[in-house]
Structure 1
Amino acid sequence: MSVNNVLKGMGYKFIAEMGEGSFSQVKLATPRKHHCNVAIKIVDRVKSPKDFVQKFLPRELVILRRVNHDHIVQMYELIEVAGKRLCIVMEAAAKDLLQKIHEVNRIPEDQSKNLFSQMVSAINYLHKMDIVHRDLKCENILLTAEEQVKITDFGFAHCVQDPSELSRTFCGSAAYTPPEVIMGMPYDPKKYDIWSLGVILYVMVTGSMPYDETNLRRLNRLQRKSLVYPDDAGVQEPSRVFIRPLLQYNSSTRPTIQQVAEHPWLQMGKSLKHKS
C-alpha cells in the first residue's frame, strides 16, 4: 500500500507539496484528529544514506519527543509504512524566515528583536537540556501566520553527554557554519549555534549574507575580518554592537546563549513590546 493511501486511511487529506529533498518530501495536510493543518515529512529509509538512517534520524526523533517549547516545532505522531518510509507529523507553519526576508528585503530592527528573542528563548531551552541544533539557518526558522517562531529540522541535533565534550561532525550549511568547523577542528557545539544565530540576525537586518560562502578557503579568510554592512541597510550601532560578539572568530570569546538572552539589546526589545 502506498504512503498516500495509508495516510488518507488514517484521516489525513493532502493540501499541497511543501518541499522535497534527496531522501524526503514534506506535504501539507488537514488531519481528522487535530484541529489545525499539519506538515508531514515523509522519509525514504531505503534511499537514505546508512549513517542518516542509523544515526541522525534516531537522534532527531528522540529530541523531538523530548522537547516542548512554544518556539520549537511540535511533533504529533510517527507513522511507519511497510518498514520503508517514516512519516513524521508535525505542526505546520505559514512560511520560513528566508521567504519572509525575500518578501520584505530586510526586517525592521524592532521586529527583528522580537523574532530573534523567540529564537534565543528556544535555543536557551535546548542548551539548558544539553541539546545542540547545529543546523540553524533562515530556512529552518519557521513562522506561523501570526509570525511566531518555530525552530525545525533537528537532523543534525545532538544530546551532549558532557558539557566539555567537543563535536567532530562536519554538518550544517557553510553560510551559517563557524570558522572552527570550516577548518575541520573539534568544536564546542553550543558555540556553533551562537555563530549561526549571529548570521541569521545579520541576514534579518540587512537582507544579505555576512560572508560569501562559495569558496570555503576564502570563506574562512572572510570570517577573520571585521563585519561589513551594506551602505543602504541602515543598521543602527546598538544592533552592530550586539551582533559583533556572536560572530567572534575565536569561539571561546563568543557569549553563551544565556548571556545573549540577558543582553540589554534584547531586553530593550522585550520592554518595547510589553509597553505596546
Structure 2
Amino acid sequence: MSINNILKGMGYKFISSLGEGSFSQVKLATSQKHHCNVAIKIVDRVKAPEDFVQKFLPREMAILRRVNHVHIVQMHELIEVAGKRLCIVMEAAAKDLLQKIHEVNCIPEDQSKTLFSQMVSAVNYLHQMDIVHRDLKCENILLTAEEQVKITDFGFARCIQDSSELSHTFCGSAAYTPPEVIMGTPYDPKKYDVWSLGVILYIMVTGKMPFDDTNVRRLYRLQRKPLVFPDDAGVEEPCRVFIRTLLQFSPSTRPTIQQVAEHPWLQMG
C-alpha cells in the first residue's frame, strides 16, 4: 500500500508539496484528527545516510518530543510505515522567512524586531534546556498566517551535558556558520546559534547576505573584516551595533542568548 493511501486511511489528505530533499519530502495536508492543516515530513530511512538514521534522526525526534514553546514548531505525532519510512506530523505554516524577504525585499526594522524577539525567546528556551539548534537560517524560520515565528528543522540539533561542552561536527549552511566552525575547530554550539541569529537579522533588515559564501576559504577572511552594510540600507545605528555584537568574530566576545534577550535594541520601542 502506498504512503498516500496509508495516511489517507488515518485521516490525512494531501493538499500540496512544500519541499523535497534527497531522502525526505514535506507535504501540506488536512487532518481530521487534529482539525487543522498540518505539515508532514516523510523520511525515507532506506535512502537516508546511515549516520542520519542512527544519529541525527533519533536526536531530532527526542528533542521534538521534549520541547513546548509557542515559537517552536509543534510535533503532533510520529507514524512509522513498515520500518522504512517515518512520517513526522507537525504544525503547518504559511511561509518561511526567506519567502517573506523575497516578497518584500527587506523587513522594516520595527517588524524585524518583533519577529527577532520571538526567535530569541525560542532559542533562549532551548539553550536553557541545554539544547542547541545548529542550523538556524531563514528557511528554518517559519511564519504562520498571523506572522508568528515557528522555528523548525531540528535535524542538526543536539542536547549538551553542560555549558562547557564543545561540539566537533560541521553542520548547517556555510552562509550562517560562524568562523570557528568554518575553521574546523571545536566550538561552543550555543555561540554558533547566536552567530546564525545575527546573520538572519542582517538579512531581514537589509535583504542581503552579510558575507559571500560562494568560496568557504574566502568566507572566513570576510568574516574577519569589519561588518559592512549596503549603502542603500536604511538601518538605524542602534540596530547596526546590535548586529555587529551578534557577529563578533571571536566566540569569547560574542554574547550568550540571555545577553541577546536583554540587549537594549530589543528593549527599545
Quickly name the TM-score band, shorter chain normalised: over 0.9
SS of the residue corresponding to residue 4 of structure 2 reads helix
Structure-1 residue corresponding to 2:248: 248
SS of the residue corresponding to residue 37 of structure 1 reads strand
Structure-1 residue corresponding to 2:45: 45
TM-score (normalizing by structure 1): 0.97
Structure-1 residue corresponding to 2:3: 3
1:61 equivalenced with 2:65 (yes/no):
no
Distance in 1 separating the partners of 2:55 and 2:40? 21
Q: CA deviation at 1:167?
A: 0.1
Q: Which amino acid aligns with 1:113?
A: K
Matches within 5 A, 1:41-190: 41-190=41-190
Structure-2 residue corresponding to 1:262: 262
Distance in 1 separating the partners of 2:104 and 2:35? 31
TM-score (normalizing by structure 2): 0.99
Where does the alignment leave 5 or more consecutive residues of structure 2 unmatched?
A: none
Distance in 1 separating the partners of 2:203 and 2:161? 32
Q: Which amino acid aligns with 1:169?
A: T
Distance in 1 separating the partners of 2:242 and 2:226? 14
Distance in 1 separating the partners of 2:113 and 2:162? 32
Distance in 1 separating the partners of 2:166 and 2:86? 31
Distance in 1 separating the partners of 2:266 and 2:257? 12
Q: CA deviation at 1:162?
A: 2.1
Distance in 2 separating the partners of 1:17 and 1:165? 39
Where does the alignment leave 5 or more consecutive residues of structure 1 unmatched?
A: none
Distance in 2 separating the partners of 1:113 and 1:48? 38
Q: CA deviation at 1:2?
A: 1.2
Q: Which amino acid aligns with 2:98?
A: L
Q: Which amino acid aligns with 2:10?
A: M
Distance in 2 separating the partners of 1:12 and 1:179? 44
Q: CA deviation at 1:183?
A: 0.3
SS of the residue corresponding to residue 90 of structure 2 reads strand
The runs of at least 4 consecutive aligned structure 1 residues that moved more than 3 Å come to: none
Distance in 1 separating the partners of 2:263 and 2:167? 27
Structure-2 residue corresponding to 1:22: 22
Q: Which amino acid aligns with 1:51?
A: D
Distance in 1 separating the partners of 2:267 and 2:37? 33
Structure-2 residue corresponding to 1:218: 218
1:191 equivalenced with 2:197 (yes/no):
no
Q: Which amino acid aligns with 1:123?
A: V
Q: CA deviation at 1:212?
A: 0.2
Distance in 2 separating the partners of 1:267 and 1:45? 45
Q: CA deviation at 1:36?
A: 1.4
Q: Which amino acid aligns with 1:223?
A: Q
Distance in 1 separating the partners of 2:167 and 2:2? 39
Structure-1 residue corresponding to 2:227: 227
CA RMSD of aligned residues (A): 0.5
